Amino acid sequence: MVSQRPPGSRRQRDPERKARILAAAAELTARRGFHAVGMADIGAEAGIVGSGIYRHFDSKDAILLALLDQVMDRLQTGAATIVSTARSDRAALSALVRDHIRVAVQDRSVLAVYHREIHNLPEEDRRRLRRRQRHYLEEWVHVLTPLRRDLADGEIRLAVHAAIGAIQSTLFFRSGLSSERLTALLDTMAHGCLGVDPEPTGNGELLITSP
């Protein structure tokens, strides 16, 4: 049964508290699974007592939806910024790769929840998120196509899926590698899947454009 907001509780705007709730929900859900985590667990993890959590979310389902929308907001905003400002297709592709790596490494719990728990959402919400995901993938396809004119459209799309899959392989096991080493390996793997040499940064750091 889905926990619902107690009668009479009022929503109050507090972005910092809302962010704590989402971070706590992501961490707990990534560790235990959606059905093993309750609203009280999330509130305790976020340091929010009593009915305070219900001022921001009516139910656990609402928290899950907010988390998954947060993932797509982050990826789509980053991609749009990259594609509109990059100096070349190659620079844009490397920035897309490295921005996705940043999310996978720094926000691992949230991205893991997206892939493991999206099936728990109502069908309408799942369809909407899948559409957003397809639009995000199209940004990659649009940038890769002029760089790989030797490939058919289906091959381009396969390469994009392979690159993103390589990046997201880190969601499903703990490698034990440092963030720096893991980031470098994922960068090499993703560019290898795409068949495009990475854009050099000139300073030893990943070229990542923040939204």
- Residue 151 is predicted with a pLDDT of 98
Q: What mean pLDDT do residues 169-184 have?
A: 89
Is 38 inside any structural domain? yes
| Rg over CA atoms, the chain | 19
Domain of 39, in residue numbers: 14-58
Is 6 inside any structural domain? no
Same domain, 30 and 118: no
Same domain, 108 and 45: no
- Residue 206 is predicted with a pLDDT of 46
- Give me 46's structure tokens: 């976020």
Same domain, 74 and 172: yes
Same domain, 51 and 75: no
Is 90 inside any structural domain? yes
Same domain, 35 and 81: no
Is 200 inside any structural domain? no
Per-residue pLDDT for 94 more than 60? yes
d(Cα 156, Cα 145) in Å, to the nearest integer? 7
Same domain, 35 and 111: no
Same domain, 38 and 85: no
Is 107 inside any structural domain? yes
Is 210 inside any structural domain? no
Same domain, 119 and 19: no
Q: How far is CA 33 from the centre of its chain?
A: 17
Is 1 inside any structural domain? no
Check which CATH number belongs to the domain holding 135 and give it: 1.10.357.10
Per-residue pLDDT for 47 more than 80? yes
Phi, psi of 9 (to 5 degrees): -75, 145
pLDDT band at 203 (very low <50, low <70, confident <90, very high): very low
Total tally of structural domains belonging to the chain:
2
Same domain, 49 and 123: no
User: Which residue has tokens 């619902």?
Assistant: 4
Same domain, 76 and 108: yes
* Cβ–Cβ under 8 Å, residues 73 and 155: no
Could you report the per-residue pLDDT of 119-131, keeping only the tens digit for each?
Answer: 999 999 999 999 9
Per-residue pLDDT for 74 more than 50? yes
Q: What mean pLDDT do residues 142-167 have?
A: 98
Residue 10: name the closest of 51, 65, 60 by CA. Answer: 51
Distances (CA, A) of 12 to 19, 58, 116: 13, 13, 30
The SS3 of residue 51 is: coil
* Cβ–Cβ under 8 Å, residues 56 and 82: no
